[in-house]
Amino acid sequence: MVDFEYNIYMGIIGRNFYNRNTLEVAKDLLGCKLCRFTENGIQEGVIVETEAYTHDDPACHAYSGKTPRSITLFKKSGLAYVYFIYGMYHCFNVTTEPEGIAGAVLIRALEPLNIKDTNGPAKLCRAMNITKELNEVDLTCKKSGLWIEEFKHFDNSEIITTTRIGIKQAADYPWRFYVKGNKFISKP
DNA sequence: GATAAGATGTTA
DNA sequence: AACATCTTATCA
């Protein structure tokens, strides 16, 4: 990872990290720690699998422009984009790119630190109590109870790049990234 | 182990 | 009607 400003603090990741090309952010998020603080205490897991979704990507919710749901993707980077899927699940993304350009990274799996069952996008939302109420909250500060911290670095040789899961549009794009050999990668 | 089907409600 | 999913059942 590059020496961004946030490295000075070795802690919470700031907006300049997210305000970049979506593919780069997706790859650099591997090894970062997702943190959730509620009345039940703190829950943490290391991000080990991500997928990128961009404005010119047929699989992206923002592909056909701004809608009530996709509006979040056009806002500033470093926000949570949480949506409801298949009638009973939530998925958690972080917004990327400068304001006005849609983009997001889907967090697909965590290596649990003090939580369980996080090897899938809907499972990790359930484990960390992430619901639609957290849509659009700012991930660059702790006040909403959801943020991401620097934690661990992976070299390119430890990162697998492959196709995304569970989509039909643009299924051939190699926009999924995961940590080689990690036991908590989502099942195909 | 692999494959199939069912649950369930929002979205455009 | 499709959907950026997961669980359970039914094979082998």
C12 C1' to A188 CA distance, Å: 20
Asked if residue A50 lies in contact with residue A177, where contact means CB atoms within 8 angstroms, the answer is yes
CB proximity A188–strand B (7 Å threshold): no
Write down the CATH superfamily of domain A6-178.
Methylpurine-DNA glycosylase (MPG) (3.10.300.10)
Residue A30's pLDDT is what? 98
Per-residue pLDDT for A5 more than 70? no
C10 C1' to A188 CA distance, Å: 20
Model confidence pLDDT, tens digit, residues A100-136: 999 999 999 999 999 889 999 999 999 999 999 999 9
Distance CA(A13)–CA(A162), nearest Å, equals 26
CB proximity A67–strand B (7 Å threshold): yes
C6 C1' to A10 CA distance, Å: 36
Nucleotides of C under 7 A from a protein CB: 2-7
C11 C1' to A186 CA distance, Å: 24
Question: A36: which strand partners?
Answer: A43, A146
Give the residue extent of every domain in chain A. 6-178
B4 C1' to A188 CA distance, Å: 15
Q: How confident is the model at residue A10 (pLDDT cuts 50, 70, 90)?
A: low
CB proximity A88–strand B (7 Å threshold): yes
CB proximity A41–strand B (7 Å threshold): no
Work out the percent of chain A whose per-residue pLDDT is above 70.
Answer: 95
Model confidence pLDDT, tens digit, residues A40-78: 899 999 999 999 999 999 999 999 999 999 999 999 999
Q: Regarding beta strands A33-38 and A41-54, do their DSSP bridges make them parallel or antiparallel, or are they unpaired?
A: antiparallel
Residue A51's pLDDT is what? 98
